[in-house]
Amino acid sequence: MTDLLGHQFTETTVTEPPVKSTPTSPQILLYPRVRKSPYFWQSRAHGVAMYSVYNHTYHPRHYGDPVAEYWHLLSDVTLWDVGVERQLEISGPDAFDFTNYLVPRDLNKCAVGQCKYVFITAPDGGIINDPILLRVEENRFWLSLADSDVRLWALGLAQAGGWNVQIQEVDVAPVQVQGPRSKDVMVDLFGPSILDMPYYYMRSYTLDGMDVVVSRTGYTGEVGYEIYLYNATANAARLWQAVWQAGQAHNMRVIGPCHIRRIEGGMLSYGCDITLDTNPMEVGYDYRWMVDLDQEADFVGKEALQRIRDNGVSRLMVGLEIDGEPLGSFNDGSMIEPFTVLAPSATHREVIGSVTSACYSPRLERNIGLTMLSLEFTSLGTNVVVETPTGLRAGVVVEKPFVDPRKQTPRS
């Protein structure tokens, strides 16, 4: 065999391969198999510095300076490519009853033209997704999805239950316009009537021949809107340019989802803070209003969540302040894994939970994090120990959200 392969094939070269250095910042592969947002090429032209994959789609995470993006969001107006929020449409004669069965909120309280932040729960109460629901018509709903395969779940439920509904991913894609000057941009695009739209409502408009739905929603805790574009595959470039041009007079900047701001606001990230292994009763008092256990109608997970409510939970999501050097902006790759949380002890190692999202808040000038803890450690002022990549740090339980707990800013 050695003769056939030549003298370079020796035992030494096989058993001792050349040592290669490990890249500290591996790249993400851009190629045809992963889906693209309809706005992919428009957002990319602004210099995307980091992507992740969300709903099987490339998602721009930031454009080089997440902290500068944070400050711009707080002071001016920003444009986001959120075409990764795939729109699942449920329509047909049973659409209301089926959608009401899919989510724990009582949709009898959701009028046509209104939006709701909802959980989708499994039979054991675990969270499958946390989309924004838009009631487009009496029997037509959109679910603006977080990162999980809800379409397959909904198709299976409808088939098994014999529901008379159509479930499809439609060619509708949103952009977000967020920040205190977003109203100025939206007035320039759609006229002053848009200022009359209440928080978490939506309206239909036509912009330069393009049909859109505008909602007063967003993932920031700031004043903001989402523009849902029909026929997005064909019209995405035109809409992006129209919004970008309107924004020039108002100092618009293209940014990625600002995780510093969403952590400050106690806003959840599916896959980080909540998963199938998390139920709505565990994510804190500020989310229990999303489960209507006393409604007459049944929904997936109702019995399990009633049992959890009656018996109580063993863990709870809290806010945590963490000492030490700044942790980073979360979307800069500074938090690859959750941080393990320990009970303070000089003699043994007792795991009591994990920090699921953490960052340094520039305006609060401290590290903050959303943290799932054993119930006995969730009282305000409780001291804990946090294992971070740079070593052990002290942590203390505090109120969440960290900023604007009554959400007065986005409602203004």
Binding residues for substrate, by number, are 226
Nearest one of 58, 67, 66, 69 to 36, comparing CA atoms:
58
> How far is 369 from 354, CA to CA, in rounded Å?
10
Q: Are strands 77-81 and 202-207 parallel, antiparallel or unpaired?
A: unpaired
> How far is 290 from 118, CA to CA, in rounded Å?
6
Nearest one of 222, 315, 331, 226 to 272, comparing CA atoms:
331
**In the structure encoding, which two tokens stand for residue 220, read together?**
């920031």
Strands (E), 105-236: 115-117, 120-121, 127-129, 132-137, 140-144, 166-169, 173-178, 202-207, 210-215, 224-229
> How far is 357 from 123, CA to CA, in rounded Å?
26
Question: What is the H or E stretch that residue 91 is in?
Answer: strand 87-91
The residue count of the chain comes to 412
| Residue 128 φ/ψ, nearest 5 degrees | -90, -35
Identity of residue 165 = V
**In the structure encoding, which two tokens stand for residue 205, read together?**
């408009």
Nearest one of 52, 80, 79, 46 to 64, comparing CA atoms:
46
Percent of residues in the chain assigned helix, strand, coil, to nearest 5: 25, 30, 45
Q: Under a CB-based contact definition with an 8 Å cutoff, are residues 262 and 203 in contact?
A: no
Q: If you ran DSSP here, which 8-state letter would residue 370 be given?
A: E
> How far is 110 from 106, CA to CA, in rounded Å?
8
Q: If you ran DSSP here, which 8-state letter would residue 110 be given?
A: -
> How far is 297 from 106, CA to CA, in rounded Å?
8
Q: If you ran DSSP here, which 8-state letter would residue 21 be given?
A: P
Annotated binding residues, written as ranges, equal: 226
Please report where in the chains the tokens 């428009």 appear, as a residue: 42
Identity of residue 26 = P
